[in-house]
Amino acid sequence: MASFRQILLLLTYEVLFMSTVLVTCIDAAKSISTGIVPKRLVRKLIHRNSVKSPLYNSDHTNFDSAKFAFKDSISRVAMIEEKMKRCEVNMSCSDNIQANLHAKNWVGVFFVEFHIKDMSHPMLTVMDTGSNLLWVHCIPCPNCAQASVRIYNPSTSSTYTNVSCRSEYCEALRQRSCDQNDNCNYELHYEGAYPTAGMLATESFIFDTTDDGLLTVPNVVFGCSHESNDKPDAVMGVLGLNYNKVSLAAQLGNKFSYCVGRIKDPSYDYNQLILGEGAILEGDSTPLDTYNGYFYVTLEGISLGEAMLDIPRDSFRRTDSGQGGVMIDSGGEHSFLDQRAYEELADAVMNTMNLNCWFESELHYSRLCFEGNVTKDIKGFPGVTFHFSGGAELGLEAESLFSQSNPTTFCMNILRADYGQPGVIGVGAQQYHNVGYDISGKKLFLRRMDCELLDE
């Protein structure tokens, strides 16, 4: 039988243990809600082919980049489609199938760099408005020993905390579980690759902002990934910017904007992302609709030059069962349109050109190609404009609309979407614009802009 002293010790231990747990929970809850929210956090967006990207390869030609943009855009929509299909079947879709970073599938368009905990842990993540969680590889992880970069180790950090299972952030995740210490675990499934899983946690993140120097943001909620069959390399995770509570965009005030300039130029250095209250919400706006983890917009028409194309509005509408519609995306370069809209646009574009043309297809996507040189052979091309409800517009010049695939062929950067799948407005179509997301106000702002002006 246990002595009184032993029982007392046990009880004391229990009480101590409980109070430790309680304190941890309260601390975690408190620190999350009182985190300092910076007013304006400015980061460069590093295009994957830019000279500043770890994927930069000086042997690659513009044709290689064009080919990659095409393949990567298709991986991107395939990923979106897969997620949609799963959502139809069983609704447990929201956190599934995110960035398939290293499975030779989707790579993303822009990388964002910041530091976790201190300046010795730089992190390069893929910007994705279609993901919710900001996650990075953490020690311990199965393949971390072979990593080419230094991996963050939460056990050596005094600013790291686990997020409780009862936290609102944990509850905002669909694929979550609780461990024996009541800590929140997340799981992300990749299409065609291994899932990754880890702890939902908070930590200080340091952003080297161009205008305000180093800015430390304490208690950022993020995913610390311990299980992954990927070998961590220079690109270490995903920067989720959708409207879910756990996304960095939501944590930093539900507003963000990005400005995208000439993406074909590897030394163009003015693409940027602004998070927080100071995001640029300027220009005409259009309602921003959120559905299934993505941002949707109401496209009302497309014009070529002055001529409005004859496309029924239904081509752009999302049905009650969630099919179709048009999303604005940051994870792929090319755009996709419903069959009817695509054919009207392709016809009109063909008719303005005096060049041989044909359709090339890959999987079930199709694109229009021409024989010629895009800089030389289509001088005076009238330009294509997307018209959104509320009056916002996105204008695409020849440079945004076409890519030279080889010395004698150029193709349209808008492809035909698979039947029933959403249309996608890719990054290429957003070039030379500032795009502002007001998540709580449910508005998207579009303004034609030279991003270089934002740098001054």
Ligand X SMILES: *[C@@H]1O[C@H](CO)[C@@H](O)[C@H](O)[C@H]1NC(C)=O
The verdict on 156 binding ligand X (CB under 6 A) reads: no
The verdict on 292 binding ligand X (CB under 6 A) reads: no
**CB-based contact 103:78 (threshold 8 Å):** no
For ligand X, the binding residues in 95-114 under the rule CB under 6 A are none
The verdict on 373 binding ligand X (CB under 6 A) reads: yes
Cβ atoms within 10 Å, residue 54: 13
Residue 194 Cβ, how far from ligand X at the closest point, in Å?
15
Category of 401 on φ-ψ map: left (φ > 0), alpha (ψ -120 to 50) or beta: alpha
Residue 445, beta-bridge partner list: 285, 436
**CB-based contact 180:93 (threshold 8 Å):** no
Handedness of CA 430, 123, 125, 149 (dihedral sign): positive
Residue 300 Cβ, how far from ligand X at the closest point, in Å?
34
Cβ atoms within 10 Å, residue 12: 10
For ligand X, the binding residues in 398-437 under the rule CB under 6 A are 404, 407
Residue 193 Cβ, how far from ligand X at the closest point, in Å?
15
Selected from 351, 376, 379, 456, the binder of ligand X by CB under 6 A is 376
CA 221/CA 185 separation, integer angstroms: 13
Record the tokens describing residue 74, joined without a space. Answer: 């298709």
Helix (H, G, I), strand (E, B) or coil at 391: coil
Q: Which of 285, 283, 258 is nearest to 454 (CA)?
A: 258
Residue 151 Cβ, how far from ligand X at the closest point, in Å?
16
Selected from 3, 4, 59, 90, the binder of ligand X by CB under 6 A is 90
CA 336/CA 347 separation, integer angstroms: 16
Nearer to ligand X, 5 or 379 (CB): 379
CA 403/CA 428 separation, integer angstroms: 10
The verdict on 363 binding ligand X (CB under 6 A) reads: no
Given the rule CB under 6 A, which of 85-93, 256-264, 269-277, 356-364 is the region that contacts ligand X?
A: 85-93
307 residue type, one letter: A
Selected from 106, 110, 152, 160, the binder of ligand X by CB under 6 A is 160
Residue 421 Cβ, how far from ligand X at the closest point, in Å?
17
Residue 284 Cβ, how far from ligand X at the closest point, in Å?
34
Nearer to ligand X, 175 or 339 (CB): 175
The verdict on 162 binding ligand X (CB under 6 A) reads: yes
The verdict on 181 binding ligand X (CB under 6 A) reads: yes
Nearer to ligand X, 6 or 92 (CB): 92
Question: In the stretch 46-65, what mask flags binding to ligand X with x, by CB under 6 A?
Answer: --------------------
Q: How far is CA 441 from its chain centroid? A: 20
Residues 6 or more apart in contact with residue 350 via CB below 8 angstroms = 357, 368
Nearer to ligand X, 153 or 352 (CB): 153
- C-alpha distances in angstroms, 282 versus 24, 433, 445? 42, 11, 6
Residue 320 Cβ, how far from ligand X at the closest point, in Å?
21
Residues 6 or more apart in contact with residue 376 via CB below 8 angstroms = none
Residues 6 or more apart in contact with residue 410 via CB below 8 angstroms = 369, 370, 372, 373, 374, 402, 403, 404
Selected from 1, 2, 59, 89, the binder of ligand X by CB under 6 A is 89
Nearer to ligand X, 226 or 433 (CB): 226
Residue 22 Cβ, how far from ligand X at the closest point, in Å?
14
Handedness of CA 195, 201, 203, 206 (dihedral sign): positive
Handedness of CA 276, 282, 287, 293 (dihedral sign): negative
CA 412/CA 257 separation, integer angstroms: 27
Selected from 118, 171, 179, 265, the binder of ligand X by CB under 6 A is 179
Nearer to ligand X, 82 or 208 (CB): 82
Given the rule CB under 6 A, which of 52-60, 284-292, 359-367, 373-381 is the region that contacts ligand X?
A: 373-381
The verdict on 164 binding ligand X (CB under 6 A) reads: no
Given the rule CB under 6 A, which of 108-116, 177-185, 209-217, 260-268 is the region that contacts ligand X?
A: 177-185
Residue 371 Cβ, how far from ligand X at the closest point, in Å?
12
Selected from 6, 33, 92, 177, the binder of ligand X by CB under 6 A is 92
The burial class, CB within 10 Å (0-12 / 13-18 / 19+), for 443 is middle
Question: In the stretch 184-203, what mask flags binding to ligand X with x, by CB under 6 A?
Answer: ---------------x----
CA 161/CA 301 separation, integer angstroms: 49
Given the rule CB under 6 A, which of 83-91, 118-126, 295-303, 430-438 is the region that contacts ligand X?
A: 83-91
Q: Residues interacting with ligand X, by CB under 6 A?
A: 86, 89-90, 92, 160-162, 179, 181, 183, 199, 373, 375-376, 404, 407
